[in-house]
Structure 1
Amino acid sequence: MNERDFIALLRPLAGPAALNLDDDAAILTPPPGQDLIVSKDTMVEGVHFPKGRIGGGFSERLLRTALSDLAAKGARPIGYMLSVAWPIGRDPKWLNGFVRGLHDAQESFDCPLIGGDTTSTDGPLVASVTVFGLVPNGEMVRRSGAKPGDDVWFTGTLGLAEIGLAIVSGHAVDLSPSKRLVAEEAYLRPEPRFAFRKVLRRFATAAADISDGLLSEAGHIATASGVQIDLIAETTKNADFGDDYELLFTASARNREEIVEGAKAIGLPLTLCGHVLEGVGVTVEGTVVKPEGYRHRF
């Protein structure tokens, strides 16, 4: 399979802005009163995903994790661009599976392909997506708005993705079949929390998605906001492993009841995990911690 064959596979995924993938460019016009939000993520076979599993699982995870960045901003997705460096000689079945995975993910979030680039490589598969979303003017949720006195929350359940990675990697995991499936899905198909975006935009003072671990993301918010985030110890059991792609956010304590009700209305688990204080950095019940999380080494 060559580059043009692969583009032909991708063409049915293209939205109107992509101009049928014929022009090496796309057209995006934000509606009046909307800000265009842009984010980019990259995955490498053997680093972000086990080697040899680069079909639909890889591509669906790639797009879903990138979209999680938009969810953390309170945005609504409108499209994405894809760039792929395919290993030379890879069986075409993987390319077909890759396209099916993209299809499934973009259909889930009404987020069509609008362009990109393809090439080949002697190394592992490298793929990246640039995602585009919209928020009402001035309503994007940043990392820099946390204030002393705010509550700190995270959505969903942390730690499932770590178990899912072990399963996908072929390690023995002592779980029932149903729980194994839940953990595997948490790793392969993380759920960007778009259904929570209106609550997030209304009440959150700062937010980030949990891609590199709870402590790391708390550190990002604390640094950007110039505050101290003090976490409750029992909520930090899965604090170092990333890949959960849940939301970590801060909000005024006076809005606690409305936030809980907003999450309950969409069936989203929510955990009050700490508080924002005067100071700097991250602590766990007063003990200073170093919020390393996962970091790529160059």
Structure 2
Amino acid sequence: MDEFDFIDLLRPLVGPTGLGLQDDAAKLSVPDGQDLIISTDTMVEGVHFPLGRRGGGFSERLLRTALSDLAAKGARPIGYMLSVAWPVGTDAKWMAGFVKGLDETQSAFDCPIMGGDTTSTTGPLIASATVYGLVPTGEMVTRAGAKVGDDVWFTGVLGRAEKGLALMQGKVLDLPETEILACEDAYLRPEPRFLFRKILRQYASACADISDGLISEAGHIAKASGVRLDLDAQHVDGTSFGDDYELLFTASQTSRTALKSTAEALPLKITRCGTVAEGEGVWVNGERLMSQGYKHTF
């Protein structure tokens, strides 16, 4: 299979902005009263996903993790660009599975492919997704708005993705069957929290998606906002792995009741895990913690 055969596989996934994948470009008009939000994520086989797994699991995880960045900004997805470097000799069945994973994911979030690029490599599979979203003008939630006295919250359940990877690697974990399935989904198919976006825009003062661990993301918010985040010890243990792609956000204490009731209505579990104070960094039990998240080294 060559690059044009792969593009033909992608063609049915294209929305109107992608011009049929025939122009090496996309056309995008931003509606009045909306800001365009853009984010890019890259995955490397053997780093972000186990070696030899090049099919739908890879592409689903790639697109879902990229979309999580839009969810953290309170945005609605509208499309994405895809760039893929396929290892020479890749079986066509993996490419077909890769496209199927994209199809299922973009259908779930109404986010069609708009274009991109394909090439070959003698190394592992490398793929990037650049996602585009819209948010009402001036309402994007950034990392920089946390205020002294705010509560710190996170969505969902942390730590499941780490267990999901362990299960993929063949490790046996003493977990109920329902929890095993939840952990596998957390790693393979993380859920961008788009259903929470309107609540986030209404109540959150700052937000980040938890891709590199709770402490790491809390540190990003603390630095961007010029504040200190005091976290409860009970929520810190076992959260350095990251890859949960839940949302960490801050909000006024006056919003507690409204946040709980609106989240329950979705339904989505949210947990209050700390407070915002004067100072800098991330602290637990009077001790400052340095980032424990994953870092790429060069």
> Do they superpose with TM above 0.5?
yes
Deviation at residue 54 of structure 1 after TM alignment? 1.2
Trace 1:265-276 onto structure 2 (pairs within 5 A): 265-276=265-276
- The letter for the 1-side match of 2:231 is L
Deviation at residue 98 of structure 1 after TM alignment? 0.1
Cα displacement string for residues 210-244 of structure 1 (whole angstroms, at most 9, x for unaligned residues): 00000000000000000000000111122211100
Given that 1:143 and 1:207 are in contact with CA atoms closer than 8 Å, whether structure 2 keeps it comes out as yes
Given that 1:153 and 1:271 are in contact with CA atoms closer than 8 Å, whether structure 2 keeps it comes out as yes
Cα displacement string for residues 172-199 of structure 1 (whole angstroms, at most 9, x for unaligned residues): 2222333211110110000000000001
- The letter for the 2-side match of 1:105 is T
Separation of aligned partners in 2, 1:72 and 1:179: 25
TM-score, normalised on structure 1?
Answer: 0.99
Separation of aligned partners in 1, 2:125 and 2:250: 37
- The letter for the 2-side match of 1:145 is G
- 1:64 to 2:56 alignment: no
Identity of aligned residues (%): 66
The residue that corresponds to 1:178 in the other structure is 178
Separation of aligned partners in 2, 1:244 and 1:292: 15
The residue that corresponds to 1:84 in the other structure is 84
Given that 1:73 and 1:140 are in contact with CA atoms closer than 8 Å, whether structure 2 keeps it comes out as yes
Cα displacement string for residues 40-71 of structure 1 (whole angstroms, at most 9, x for unaligned residues): 00000000000011100000000000000000
The alignment partner of 1:124 has SS state of coil
- The letter for the 1-side match of 2:130 is T
The residue that corresponds to 2:251 in the other structure is 251
Separation of aligned partners in 1, 2:98 and 2:247: 27
The residue that corresponds to 1:121 in the other structure is 121
RMSD of equivalent CA atoms = 0.7
Range with bigger deviation, 198-207 or 281-290 = 281-290
- The letter for the 2-side match of 1:252 is S
- The letter for the 1-side match of 2:161 is A
The residue that corresponds to 1:98 in the other structure is 98
Range with bigger deviation, 233-242 or 77-86 = 233-242
The residue that corresponds to 2:150 in the other structure is 150
The alignment partner of 1:237 has SS state of coil
The residue that corresponds to 1:206 in the other structure is 206
- 1:289 to 2:298 alignment: no
Separation of aligned partners in 2, 1:182 and 1:202: 29
The residue that corresponds to 2:242 in the other structure is 242
Given that 1:214 and 1:238 are in contact with CA atoms closer than 8 Å, whether structure 2 keeps it comes out as no
Deviation at residue 35 of structure 1 after TM alignment? 0.2
Trace 1:22-33 onto structure 2 (pairs within 5 A): 22-33=22-33
Given that 1:61 and 1:190 are in contact with CA atoms closer than 8 Å, whether structure 2 keeps it comes out as yes
Deviation at residue 261 of structure 1 after TM alignment? 1.0
Separation of aligned partners in 2, 1:124 and 1:279: 43
Cα displacement string for residues 67-123 of structure 1 (whole angstroms, at most 9, x for unaligned residues): 000000000000000000000001111000000000010011000000000000000
Question: Paired residues, what number?
Answer: 298
The residue that corresponds to 1:264 in the other structure is 264
Separation of aligned partners in 2, 1:54 and 1:167: 18
TM-score, normalised on structure 2?
Answer: 0.99
The alignment partner of 2:28 has SS state of coil
